[in-house]
Structure 1
Amino acid sequence: MPNTAVALDLLLLPTWLVPVEPAGVVLKEHALGIRDGRIVFIGPRAAALKLDAREIRELPDMLLCPGLINAHGHAAMTLFRGLADDLPLMAWLERHIWPAEAKWVDETFVRDGTDLAIAEQIKGGITCFSDMYFFPKVASECIHDSGIRGQIAIPILDFPIPGASTADDAIRQGVELFNDLKHHERIKITFGPHAPYTVGDENLEKIRVIAEELDASIHMHVHETAFEVQQSVEQYGERPLARLGRLGLLGPRFQAVHMTQISDEDLVLLVESNTSVIHCPESNLKLASGFCPVERLWQAGVNVAIGTDGAASNNDLDLLGETRTAALLAKAVAGSATALDAHRALRMATLNGARALGIETDVGSLEVGKAADMVAFDLSGLAQQPVYDPVSQLIYATGRDCVKHLWVAGKQLLDDRRLTRLDEDQLCATAKAWGQRISGRTES
């Protein structure tokens, strides 16, 4: 029992409290107490009401759980939402997205797009997100100002990108940002080589050395399509994951995004290296990239997290919806109705995400001593009745419109569905103006 002689800053009294760890637990008639941004009490409601608290909030018909963690995305690409739909991956990238980025992406674009993405994610129950996009310093400033938690993956490619003239330039900027923010309580800097087909061995070696020196993570698109794997076999004589293993990149700090193509040999590499996989089902479905065998990975002991990918290929940043899709798709891929049940799906969207990002000692579950990153879902609506298992109801019958409140490090960023730090009307107006510029339209 923690020291509760000092007053709690906030005492929350939900109908259901789902800590995620221990697995499968749903607590009723329980409360959660916060002091100095951390969880200091979880216990029966009757005992909680005897504690001294500066603020007590009843959360009737609400499920309180860890904040959702969006383990992969490209935040500023919200401003390209719907720009080029219903196209295969490489056509989408080479003919539409890369040209649009070359024309439009600058610091202002990244700032406006990232703010829009952060607001959408907060309203969707996300307390932490991973971002891989250009001008990462700007994105870090947006994260800092908004109060959300984030991982910034420094984008690195073999050719010039907005904000970095060479791979060495991108790496240098990444090291500087890492050193500037290494003590930041909510921002983590990692290195993000884009993909095996855009980064050669020489630069991958440099990234491995730097990441090892700094004890930093590596975040990378891997095995997104069958064509990528075939191309690697033709060019290098080995599959991309095997190539990354040979170069020494795989390990507990490596985050492999997508992984829709997994052979028996790939699975062995993932398990032996303790590499995390980040599953982006809706983007993979929309681009017809393939199916990540989530249940097979889970049963083998691979840590599988979940991400939305960017809004240009998804087209939303709805991690709750993504998790529902992941749960349903896992059953179809595995041919088993018991694959990825609701409780494990929620774990994938919370604690598994924290483990993939290397922050599981601080967030991802509701435990005494952890940061108070939490979301309250309102299950009082017509579409949620009756409630037999609130976690099952959350995953299979609830949308992000049911997100009621959200806290990061004990600070409330969403109060009764209202953003507390960001101006929603201004964000919408700014996004609309970008849409008119990019499409060549003006207001009539």
Structure 2
Amino acid sequence: MTATAAPLDLLLLPTWLVPVEPAGVVLKEHGLGIRDGRIAFIGPRAAALKLAATEVRELPGMLLSPGLINAHGHAAMSLFRGLADDLPLMTWLEKHIWPAEAKWVDEAFVRDGTDLAIAEQLKGGITCFSDMYFYPKVASDCVHNSGMRAQIAIPILDFPIPGASSADEAIRQGIELFSDLKHHPRIKITFGPHAPYTVCDDNLEKIRVIAEELDAAIHMHVHETAVEVQQAIESTGERPLARLSRLGLLGPRFQAVHMTQISEDDLALLVESNTSVIHCPESNLKLASGFCPVERLWQAGVNVAIGTDGAASNNDLDLLGETRTAAMLAKAVAGSATALDAHRALRMATLNGARAMGLESQIGSLEIGKAADIVAFDLSGLAQQPIYDPVSQLIYATGRDCVKHLWVAGKQLLDDRQLTRMDEQQLTATAIAWGQRISGHRE
């Protein structure tokens, strides 16, 4: 934990520093130094103050942690926030969301919705997110301009979607975007077949081959509801996860989103293949989709990350709140108060998300050499007192309004709760205009 003689670009001096790796550690009165966008020093405050630094930031009462990683969402759907609430999944999709998408989704919708989602996530302490939505090139442009980090999953379905007339066209677009952005420092392109019930075996086989050739990840909704699994069994005699295994899709590059229904055979497939599971508790609760058995997965050795899903089904992109819900829900589902403790919950929202995306060598923990994707939470408020374990206070007693500062690759994108690269008033006005337009045309 030493630094070279070259001066640091920025030295941060918080009250608490939670590196996440090693697990369960809280460093009190330590400093973190950044140079060239990476973490160059972690050590005691006294040692930190002896180092040359271009800028020094005192962060009293603050907890410094890795930036939160939102491992699943549909960013542009922020413009459908609250459009169709209190409905079951398939009714919500087939009667409301899919018709709305057919009517409204174009490049302008995706640009404005993605910008809105990026701003909301930055203000909530999220430094990296996974997006699975239409016009992925537009979304990647938004990410590039914002300074944020993201995984962009190319949406692929058997039928035409906004921006792609067929699965083959969507796959071609994905290959092109992967090639264009393969050296981008903050954007990773993956393939996103929507779900087992919307993508046939032939198209899944094409995706598998291309993903293997490119060493790209696959991000997919799997076992979101009991009905999905039951219908698959009735029509094919096979559970969706078993089908994906038979087709060769499961593996360390596969991200299975939701997984509320897990049999012993399913669990064995997840463990053997080293597949990651992305848990979206609040969306699952709101749509009454079921409960992912997080503690059971964790104890079996499955990597479990956390996502908000889209704001149309959540209705926010608050990963800190999502993590609190995940911790509470895990205890209820497992029937154990010790399930998913606060430190493991934070790990699920940071390093586990990085691991699911194949980015664990770059982000997800505060370690020397990793990218300086960092968030500072202000724990000095009345509602956080007294503090015995700052990580417990963060997970159980702190809201996203306590996010004070945020850096991605060493660049400050949130300073004292103010976005540094985005115009919050303009984003709000644009979102209101979309809402008025959409509500004025609803049948």
TM range (shorter): over 0.9
Residue 429 (str. 1) matches residue 429 (str. 2)? yes
Given that 1:32 and 1:39 are in contact with CA atoms closer than 8 Å, whether structure 2 keeps it comes out as: yes
1:356 counterpart residue number? 356
1:368 counterpart residue number? 368
Secondary structure in structure 2 of the residue aligned to 1:309: coil
TM-superposed deviation, 1:35: 0.2
Q: Output the CA distance in 1 between the equivalents of 2:255 and 2:236.
A: 22
Given that 2:2 and 2:43 are in contact with CA atoms closer than 8 Å, whether structure 1 keeps it comes out as: no
Q: Output the CA distance in 1 between the equivalents of 2:205 and 2:83.
A: 35
Q: Output the CA distance in 2 between the equivalents of 1:54 and 1:307.
A: 36
Secondary structure in structure 2 of the residue aligned to 1:41: strand
Instruction: Deviation per CA, 1:221-274: give whole Å up to 9, x if none.
Output: 000000000111122210000000000000000000000000000000000000
Instruction: Deviation per CA, 1:123-168: give whole Å up to 9, x if none.
Output: 0000000000000000000000000000000000000000000000
Residue 80 (str. 1) matches residue 80 (str. 2)? yes
Task: Give the residue type in structure 2 aligned to 1:153.
Answer: A
Instruction: Deviation per CA, 1:57-82: give whole Å up to 9, x if none.
Output: 00000000000000000000000000
Given that 2:8 and 2:52 are in contact with CA atoms closer than 8 Å, whether structure 1 keeps it comes out as: yes
1:211 counterpart residue number? 211
Given that 1:182 and 1:189 are in contact with CA atoms closer than 8 Å, whether structure 2 keeps it comes out as: yes
1:5 counterpart residue number? 5
Task: Give the residue type in structure 1 aligned to 2:110.
Answer: V
Task: Give the residue type in structure 2 aligned to 1:223.
Answer: H
TM-superposed deviation, 1:291: 0.1
Task: Give the residue type in structure 2 aligned to 1:28.
Answer: K
Task: Give the residue type in structure 2 aligned to 1:68.
Answer: L
Instruction: Deviation per CA, 1:63-107: give whole Å up to 9, x if none.
Output: 000000000000000000000000000000000000000000000
Task: Give the residue type in structure 2 aligned to 1:188.
Answer: K
TM-superposed deviation, 1:4: 2.3
Residue 252 (str. 1) matches residue 252 (str. 2)? yes
Compute the TM-score of the two structures, normalised by the length of structure 2. 0.99
1:319 counterpart residue number? 319
1:344 counterpart residue number? 344
2:292 counterpart residue number? 292
Q: Output the CA distance in 1 between the equivalents of 2:437 and 2:256.
A: 35
1:412 counterpart residue number? 412
Q: Output the CA distance in 1 between the equivalents of 2:234 and 2:214.
A: 34
Task: Give the residue type in structure 2 aligned to 1:258.
Answer: H
1:17 counterpart residue number? 17
Given that 2:351 and 2:364 are in contact with CA atoms closer than 8 Å, whether structure 1 keeps it comes out as: yes
Q: Output the CA distance in 2 between the equivalents of 1:435 and 1:29.
A: 46
Residue 89 (str. 1) matches residue 85 (str. 2)? no
Secondary structure in structure 2 of the residue aligned to 1:73: coil
Q: Output the CA distance in 1 between the equivalents of 2:52 and 2:88.
A: 58
1:168 counterpart residue number? 168
Instruction: Deviation per CA, 1:377-398: give whole Å up to 9, x if none.
Output: 0001010000000000000000
Given that 1:4 and 1:51 are in contact with CA atoms closer than 8 Å, whether structure 2 keeps it comes out as: no
Q: Output the CA distance in 2 between the equivalents of 1:7 and 1:344.
A: 34
Q: Output the CA distance in 1 between the equivalents of 2:382 and 2:97.
A: 41
2:119 counterpart residue number? 119
Residue 305 (str. 1) matches residue 310 (str. 2)? no
State percent identity of aligned pairs. 88
Task: Give the residue type in structure 2 aligned to 1:337.
Answer: A
2:50 counterpart residue number? 50
1:236 counterpart residue number? 236
Q: Output the CA distance in 2 between the equivalents of 1:164 and 1:157.
A: 9
1:177 counterpart residue number? 177
Q: Output the CA distance in 1 between the equivalents of 2:320 and 2:202.
A: 39
Q: Output the CA distance in 1 between the equivalents of 2:419 and 2:256.
A: 32
TM-superposed deviation, 1:441: 7.3
Secondary structure in structure 2 of the residue aligned to 1:272: helix
1:137 counterpart residue number? 137
Secondary structure in structure 1 of the residue aligned to 2:64: strand
Compute the TM-score of the two structures, normalised by the length of structure 1. 0.99
Task: Give the residue type in structure 1 aligned to 2:390.
Answer: P
Q: Output the CA distance in 2 between the equivalents of 1:338 and 1:11.
A: 36
Given that 1:276 and 1:305 are in contact with CA atoms closer than 8 Å, whether structure 2 keeps it comes out as: yes
Task: Give the residue type in structure 2 aligned to 1:413.
Answer: L
1:384 counterpart residue number? 384
Secondary structure in structure 2 of the residue aligned to 1:153: strand
Task: Give the residue type in structure 2 aligned to 1:41.
Answer: F
Q: Output the CA distance in 1 between the equivalents of 2:219 and 2:354.
A: 14
Task: Give the residue type in structure 2 aligned to 1:406.
Answer: L
For structure 1, the residue ranges without an aligned partner over 5 or more in a row are none
Given that 1:116 and 1:431 are in contact with CA atoms closer than 8 Å, whether structure 2 keeps it comes out as: yes
Q: Output the CA distance in 1 between the equivalents of 2:85 and 2:48.
A: 51
TM-superposed deviation, 1:336: 0.1
1:400 counterpart residue number? 400
RMSD in angstroms over aligned alpha carbons?
Answer: 0.8
Q: Output the CA distance in 1 between the equivalents of 2:234 and 2:155.
A: 26
Q: Output the CA distance in 2 between the equivalents of 1:168 and 1:233.
A: 27
Q: Output the CA distance in 1 between the equivalents of 2:94 and 2:364.
A: 36
Secondary structure in structure 1 of the residue aligned to 2:197: coil
Q: Output the CA distance in 1 between the equivalents of 2:145 and 2:235.
A: 44
TM-superposed deviation, 1:3: 4.3
Residue 33 (str. 1) matches residue 33 (str. 2)? yes
Given that 2:2 and 2:42 are in contact with CA atoms closer than 8 Å, whether structure 1 keeps it comes out as: no
Task: Give the residue type in structure 2 aligned to 1:339.
Answer: A
Q: Output the CA distance in 2 between the equivalents of 1:426 and 1:358.
A: 35
Residue 270 (str. 1) matches residue 270 (str. 2)? yes
For structure 2, the residue ranges without an aligned partner over 5 or more in a row are none
Secondary structure in structure 2 of the residue aligned to 1:260: coil
Given that 2:11 and 2:53 are in contact with CA atoms closer than 8 Å, whether structure 1 keeps it comes out as: yes
Q: Output the CA distance in 2 between the equivalents of 1:206 and 1:132.
A: 19
Q: Output the CA distance in 1 between the equivalents of 2:115 and 2:383.
A: 31
TM-superposed deviation, 1:2: 4.5
Q: Output the CA distance in 1 between the equivalents of 2:320 and 2:50.
A: 35
Secondary structure in structure 2 of the residue aligned to 1:12: strand
